[in-house]
Structure formats: C-alpha cells, structure tokens
Amino acid sequence: MKTAVVKCGGSVIGELSDSFFQSMKEMMKNGYRIVFVHGGGPEINSMLEKLHVKSEFKDGLRVTSKEVLDIAELVLAGSTNRKLVRMLQSHGIEAIGINSSDHRILQADFINQDELGYVGDVTSVHQEFIQNLCEQGVLPVLTPIGLGPNHTILNVNADHAASAIAKALQADRFLMVTDVDGVLHKGELLSTLTEKEANSFIKEGVINGGMIPKVTSALNAFSEYVNHVHIVSGKKSFYNAGKWYGTELTKEKVTV
C-alpha cells in the first residue's frame, strides 16, 4: 500500500467537483491510502465578519487571539470538517472527521506568541493512530488545530499542518488541492517547478499571497521520504488513467 496526504484548501472546499472525488477513488483503486487535511480560511473569515471580530494576517498567518482561536476551532471542527466528511461519504468514501488536538494527532508549539498569539507549528504527529484508521479502511479527515503546551490549542496554517503530516507518514505523494490549476506564470500552468524556480518566482512576486505558504510547505515536505508533491485544482480531475495534472515539484527541470 502507498500513502497519500491530500490537503484541501478552504478556497475550494465549496467547489469540489465530482471529477475531483473520482480522482480520489481512482487513487484508492490504485493502492493509495489517503489522509485528508483541510483548511477553511475563507469560512473563518466570514464567521469573524458575522461576529464583528477583526483579524489580520502576518506573513500568511492569522494573528489569533483567544477569541479568534475559539471561532477558528468552531468553524474548522464544527462546520468545514463535517461538510468534507459528508461530501466524501456521499461519493462512497468511508471517512471519519477528527479535530487534530484530539488524541494528540497534532502536537504544536507557539511560533511567536507576542506577535501571532495562539498560532503554532507542528512538533509531532501521532502517525500510528492515523495509520491504524487507514488500515481499517477509514479515511481520516483532519483539522489544522494542534494541541499546544499546558492544554492550550493552537491554530496551525493548514499547508504547514499537511506538510508535517506528509513527512511524518513518509507519504508517497503529497497533494495540495486549491482553487487554481496549479502554479501559474503569466497565466500559463507550470507542469513542473524546481526549488530554484520556486524561490525566484517568490522573490519576483510571480508566486504571491496564499500560494507562498503552499509552495514553501510543498518544498518543505519534498524530502527523501516524500518524492512526489503536486499542487492541483479541486474543481476538476487531478488524476486519471495514471496521469497526474497540475504542477509537480521536481528536483531538476524535466525536459520533454
């Protein structure tokens, strides 16, 4: 069996297509066990607006007061996670939703409490438990909420959380699902991207906004254990007849 970690961004959760779920099923048919990790940034934003709570981002991370943390957990665990589990089940995929501070699925530590508040980075992943669920044929759907020191919970950027999980599970593939076809350059899809190109595109501003944590997390997971990392769209098929779509990270440029 092969393992794949699929991170689904909040930008596309409401727009996931039938072809996306078909690609998931095709992966499973071809021997992949899938672990799902999700974001929910836009849904958190609209709940914060409804409740008239202000929040800001610093370097792509949400500055998270105690009040913002409670709302982020409420939305991620109470709404986004539930919706995804139901969508998977309606497409015939047996899934279980878990808030990742439960059972120490994700342990995290503050990044910089003074500047960012309750924001964490993953320090450990309960990989045996995740693997056990997969072995039972249940697809785990995980929030990016980690258990911090002294029983606090911490808000973890979902790209960072997924990257840490992919590394801990030594996943054969790591897919980052978003609302665009992959990494674009002047409107054209880049089918491959090397680390060097990614760094210069970030410097030049070609890669900006939410694509920055995605590409840096993708690069971060791209290791001796995780050899295949893709950034793909959730609006269409990303895998069909053994072919992968979107942008794949490569060590060096592939010439075709």
Min dist CB 74 to ligand X2W, Å, is 12
Residue number of the CB closest to ligand X2W reads 39
229 binds ligand ADP (CB under 6 A): no
Q: How far is the CB of 29 from ligand X2W (least distance, A)?
A: 27
In Å, what is the CA distance from 227 to each residue of 79, 95, 222, 233, 241? 33, 26, 6, 20, 20
Point out which span in 20-28, 33-41, 183-191, 245-253 binds ligand X2W (CB under 6 A): 33-41
**Taking contact as CB under 6 A, which single stretch among the options 4-12, 46-54, 221-229, 248-256 is the one that binds ligand X2W?**
4-12
Give min distance, CB of 121 to ligand X2W, in A.
9
Between CA 158 and CA 7 the distance in angstroms is 8
Among 24, 27, 39, 153, binds ligand X2W (CB under 6 A): 39
Q: State yes or no: 41 annotated in a binding site.
A: yes
* The two structure tokens encoding residue 255: 């010439």
Q: How far apart are CA 158 and CA 31, in angstroms?
A: 25
Q: Which is nearer to ligand X2W, 35 or 119 (CB)?
A: 119
- Cα-based angle 180, 167, 120 (whole degrees, multiple of 5): 80
161 counts as binding ligand ADP under rule CB under 6 A: no
Stretch 173-192 residues interacting with ligand X2W (CB under 6 A): none
72 binds ligand X2W (CB under 6 A): yes
- Is there a binding annotation on residue 40? yes
Q: Whole-angstrom Cα distance, residue 137 to residue 160?
A: 26
Q: Name the minimum Å distance from CB 241 to ligand ADP.
A: 25
Interface size with ligand ADP, residues (CB under 6 A)? 18
Query: What residues numbered 86-145 form the site for ligand X2W, per CB under 6 A?
Result: 119, 144
Q: Which residues are annotated as a binding site for substrate?
A: 40-41, 62, 155
| Contact residues for ligand X2W, defined by CB under 6 A | 9-11, 39-41, 44, 61-62, 72, 119, 144, 155, 157-158, 210
